[in-house]
């Protein structure tokens, strides 16, 4: 046991996926279909890792391989240094499935109590832990209501609470923001950041790129069963050349064309004004040119590259 703990504690790569291939046969006698084509990536200790990609890219399939729910056709996957087919490390892992199903006749508190028992939380610690989690996911008031009466977002919240009940070190969340209203999304974002501050490792599949951008340290992008990018969010955003939007007023069409050409920019009309987008290094030249003519500079804004725009260009190839 002591050596096992050492292995788990010393493992800097909490999740390691190497060359995972997954083939399925969609039906009897049908040709096999390749869902994952040699997926490799790793998740480091203490980070929030975003696994993103379009619908049908293979995110949930990868997560199912990691959870040992399906086996890989080829390749290997380890969590805390253990092959995912083993069981001992599972006490350190929490999991929110993509479509969680819970017994609807239980109340939120009863459900969490059931999972606390199932995952070995000591009896004396259960009540406080349940209340803490109901508070974190904003369900204190609905704790005694049966799940049958829960909305989609409430079920999602109780699912997240369930994944955290035994205070796991590594948490896997398949679309944690799914079905949540903006207040709920913020609560879950804050909860994930809180987990990170406690030194936990969080792996999340998500479509909501603004959330991924604000909370994830690193991301991997999967498209059609292949990893297209793995790295830090800031590096990913930094791949695109920075540009600046300069809004002008009182300049003739001819002048606009000239300015855009000289400063290697593009232009468009914006509510009766003209916006010229130029590479960062051309801003000075553009402003100098403006001083020489009668026009007015309304604003100069560095163009913020969003994860969404970089993601779209990565996915579209």
Ligand X SMILES: Nc1ncnc2c1ncn2[C@@H]1O[C@H](COP(=O)(O)OP(=O)(O)OP(=O)(O)O)[C@@H](O)[C@H]1O
Question: Residues interacting with ligand X, by CB under 6 A?
Answer: 24, 26, 33, 35, 53, 55-61, 98
Provide the minimum distance between the beta carbon of 63 and ligand X in the complex, in angstroms, as a whole number: 8
Which CB sits closer to ligand X, 33 or 268? 33
User: Residue 64 CB, nearest distance to ligand X (Å)?
Assistant: 8
Task: Specify the residue for token string 């409430």.
Answer: 154
Residue 204 Cβ, how far from ligand X at the closest point, in Å?
12
**Structure tokens, 269:** 């009309």
Compute the residue count for the chain.
317
Instruction: Give the nearer residue to ligand X in terms of CB position, either 131 or 230.
Output: 230
Report the nearest approach of Mg ion to the CB of residue 59 (Å). Answer: 5
24 touches which of ligand X, Mg ion, none (CB within 5 to 8 A by kind)? ligand X
Q: Select 204 or 259, whichever has its Cβ closest to Mg ion.
A: 204
Query: Which of these ranges, 97-105, 110-118, 132-140, 275-283, lies near Mg ion under the rule CB under 5 A?
Result: 97-105
Does 62 bind Mg ion (CB under 5 A)? Our answer is no
Q: Is 60 in the site for Mg ion (CB under 5 A)?
A: yes
Pick the closer one to ligand X by CB: 98 or 167.
Answer: 98
Closer residue to ligand X (CB): 174 or 245: 174
CB of residue 295 vs Mg ion: minimum separation in angstroms?
Answer: 51
**Positions that interact with Mg ion (CB under 5 A):** 59-60, 98
């Amino acid at each position: 046991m002591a050596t096992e703990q050492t292995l788990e504690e010393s493992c800097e790569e909490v999740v390691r996926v190497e060359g995972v291939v997954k083939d399925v046969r969609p039906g009897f006698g049908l040709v096999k279909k390749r869902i994952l084509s040699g997926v490799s990536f790793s998740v480091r200790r203490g980070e929030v890792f975003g696994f993103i990609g379009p619908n049908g890219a293979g995110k949930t399939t990868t997560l199912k391989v990691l959870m040992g729910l399906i086996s890989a056709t080829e390749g290997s996957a380890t969590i805390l240094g253990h092959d995912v087919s083993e069981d001992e490390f599972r006490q350190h892992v929490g999991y929110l499935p993509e479509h969680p199903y819970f017994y609807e006749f239980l109340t939120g508190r009863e459900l969490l109590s059931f999972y606390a028992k199932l995952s070995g939380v000591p009896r004396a610690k259960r009540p406080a832990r349940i209340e803490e989690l109901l508070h974190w996911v904003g369900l204190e008031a609905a704790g005694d209501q049966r799940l049958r009466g829960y909305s989609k977002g409430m079920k999602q919240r109780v699912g997240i609470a369930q994944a955290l009940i035994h205070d796991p070190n590594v948490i896997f969340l398949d679309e944690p923001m799914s079905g949540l209203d903006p207040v709920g999304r913020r609560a879950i974002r804050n909860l994930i950041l809180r987990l990170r501050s406690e030194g936990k490792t969080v792996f999340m599949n998500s479509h909501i790129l603004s959330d991924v951008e604000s909370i994830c340290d690193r991301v991997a992008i999967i498209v059609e069963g292949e990893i297209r990018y793995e790295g830090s969010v800031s590096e990913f955003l930094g791949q695109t050349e920075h540009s600046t939007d300069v809004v002008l007023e009182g300049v003739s069409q001819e002048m606009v064309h000239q300015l855009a050409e000289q400063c290697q920019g593009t232009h468009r009309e914006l509510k009766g004004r003209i916006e010229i987008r130029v590479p960062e290094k051309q801003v000075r030249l553009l402003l100098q040119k403006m001083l020489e003519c009668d026009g007015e500079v309304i604003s100069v804004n560095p163009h913020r590259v969003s994860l969404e725009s970089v993601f779209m260009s990565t996915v579209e190839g």
